[in-house]
Amino acid sequence: MNGEWLIRGRDGRLSVYLMAQDAVLWRAEQLPGGAWTAPRRMGGDRRLSSVAAIGRGADGYTHLAAWSPTASGGAELVHATHFRPLLAPLDWAPVGHPDGKGGATGGPAVAVDDQGRGHVYARNGGGGLSMLAQRHKGGWLAWRDLKGADVQGPPAAVAGRAGRMEVYATGSGTLQYWRQEKPATRFDLVEAVESDARPGTLRALATSDEATTLFFTDGADRLCVWRPGAKPVPLLSAAGPGPVAAARAVIDGHDCTLLARRSAGSGRVVFAAYPSQQEDLGATWTESGPALPSDALVSLAQDADGRVVAATLSPSGGQLLLSRQKDEAGLALGAWQAV
């Protein structure tokens, strides 16, 4: 999934979403902190042909988007909304193609503004980035070309200050950044910096009321941080492939950024935490839990009580494991539990 796939719903229940061949499966807590439902296929019978993008709105609703094959041999993007964890999500609905028609152009990203409007982003045939946004009262606006150049890999989208949409993408030797000055206004390509960021490693997070932060892996296998207006800086070793899981959490009264992933070395989950936007203080990976399959994914969220929850799940069939923050000083996580 392109985005955090462990999500707290509007009613406080946690859900997980995972790709399974040509579909997305989901599970949910029956009660906050309670037993979980069995995996179910979401979105009807439509087949997917790409990894799905996922985003959570401030209203607690989950938005997903993915490519789906068409009868003519091309592809179109489809979108679905999940309003409550124990209700079935809406079926996948086609939302078109950045170029009108054609094959899949690159993995999508999804973010949701403070009015609950979903925004879908995808590379277009010209190598730039295109966006599709929901209308205020249902339906979708037309696709818009946001420009940019040589976009590679899925973009990373995030709702920033007051629901203002922001999106990052890798180019050929560059990182590119778009944003709205105000919600529901035009997008602009604000900045591009030289970088050897690896496509497919981007994860964006709102790290303050004013700023968003991009995490990515560079060519030297370092996990790096970039906030537009400054230069990218290395934070610590990447520890593993793909995008890192990232979330904000209050730890000992401090607003902190929490990172997690599966370590390629030990196979265990590794965590790092530091005061948000204070990368100069450094961060260190700490291992937790059992060794996991090589394709195991990690995601982070907060539960109905505001506790950090970490989840791991393997697309090849591994169990869903959860670890919850304990009522202790520091980032103390409990034993991993299979659900």
Tokens of 193: 């910096």
Among residues 190, 189, 194, the alpha carbon closest in space to that of 173 is found at 194
Among residues 157, 154, 196, 158, the alpha carbon closest in space to that of 175 is found at 196
Q: Is residue 49 part of a domain?
A: yes
Q: Is residue 172 part of a domain?
A: yes
Q: Is residue 1 part of a domain?
A: no
Q: How many domains does the chain divide into?
A: 1
CATH of the domain at 209: 2.130.10.10
Q: Is residue 291 part of a domain?
A: yes
pLDDT digits (tens, 9 = 90+) for 104-115: 999 999 999 999
Phi and psi of 46, rounded to 5°? Answer: -60, 135
pLDDT at 193 over 90: yes
Q: Is residue 258 part of a domain?
A: yes
Cβ atoms 61, 7 nearer than 8 A:
no
Cα–Cα distance measured from residue 244 to residue 201, given in angstroms and rounded to the nearest whole number: 7
The bridge status of strand 269-275 relative to strand 129-133 is unpaired
The rounded radius of gyration (Å) of the Cα atoms in the chain is 19
> In the sheet that 6-8 helps form, which strands lie side by side, from edge to edge?
6-8, 14-20, 23-28, 40-41
Domain containing residue 199: 6-338
The predicted model gives 325-333 an average pLDDT of: 87
pLDDT digits (tens, 9 = 90+) for 122-157: 999 999 999 999 998 889 999 999 999 999 999 999
Among residues 43, 10, 48, 47, the alpha carbon closest in space to that of 29 is found at 10
